[in-house]
Amino acid sequence: MSLPSLPEEPLTISAYLLPDHEPMPIVPSSKFRDWMDEIHGHYAYRCLPMLMANQRGWVILNNTRIALHWNGSNKLSGLRIAYLPITAPKAPCFSDRDVGRLLIV
């Protein structure tokens, strides 16, 4: 059995702006992430949306003013996020997982 041929046009990835949020720049980047390799058991590779986005070689730059404190713990409580005054009402950053990971949505 032969494999299907690849599409002639490049595949695209779409990003959508959430209502009431400022747009964040999307820029080209390496598809390799050292921090993903350094996590015990390569746990970060289990997040399929993040893995797929990284493999496409793009990164979203945060334009929200935040202060982060990570104490090195692999627990949710190990990461603290503080929004700096001007951006607090629309800040799209949170952490809902372990391994000191910050999600920007």
Tell me the pairing of strands 26-28 and 93-94.
unpaired
Do the beta carbons of residue 73 and residue 40 sit within 8 Å?
A: no
Domain boundaries, the chain: 25-60, 62-105
Contact 69, 80 (CB under 8 A): yes
pTM passes above 0.75:
no
**DSSP-assigned states of every residue in 72-100:** S-SSGGGEEEEE-GGGGGG--EE--SSTT
Strand boundaries in 1-104, DSSP class E = 26-28, 58-60, 66-70, 79-83, 93-94, 103-104
Determine the pLDDT at residue 88: 46
More confident residue, 103 or 76: 76
Strand partners, 29: none
Mean pLDDT of 1-11: 72
Mean per-residue pLDDT of the chain? 74
pLDDT at 102: 53
